[in-house]
């Protein structure tokens, strides 16, 4: 089974890397950029008997290692 775990900063948390990207895009002449927030994406292949089991394992991985849940949110998407 394949999964994608997307980790993003919670709203209200300062994102200096996003601000730097926003400034770089504007200096490159990319117009219309109002705001940039950056994050992380993990593509994971997991062996599990069912979707519920896979989601439970991935939730544990996200909360223990992939995301700092104090300042970050995560979303799990099972793709097959």
Q: Which CATH class is domain 2-78?
A: alpha beta
In the chain, which residues have pLDDT < 50? none
* Structure-token pair, residue 8: 């993003």
Residue 72 has a pLDDT of 98
Between CA 35 and CA 72 the distance in angstroms is: 18
Between CA 67 and CA 58 the distance in angstroms is: 11
What predicted TM-score, i.e. pTM, was given to this entire model? 0.88
What are 47-56's pLDDT values in tens digits? 999 999 999 9
Residue 33 has a pLDDT of 95
- Helical ranges in the chain per DSSP H: 16-27, 51-61
- The domains of the chain are located at 2-78
């Amino acid at each position: 089974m394949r999964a994608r775990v997307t980790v993003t900063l919670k709203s209200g948390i300062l994102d200096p890397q996003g601000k730097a990207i926003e400034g770089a895009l504007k200096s490159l002449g990319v117009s219309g950029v109002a705001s940039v927030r950056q994050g992380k994406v993990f593509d994971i292949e997991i062996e599990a008997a069912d979707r519920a089991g896979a989601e439970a394992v991935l939730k544990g991985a996200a909360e223990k290692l992939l995301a700092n849940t104090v300042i970050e949110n995560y979303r799990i998407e099972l793709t097959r």
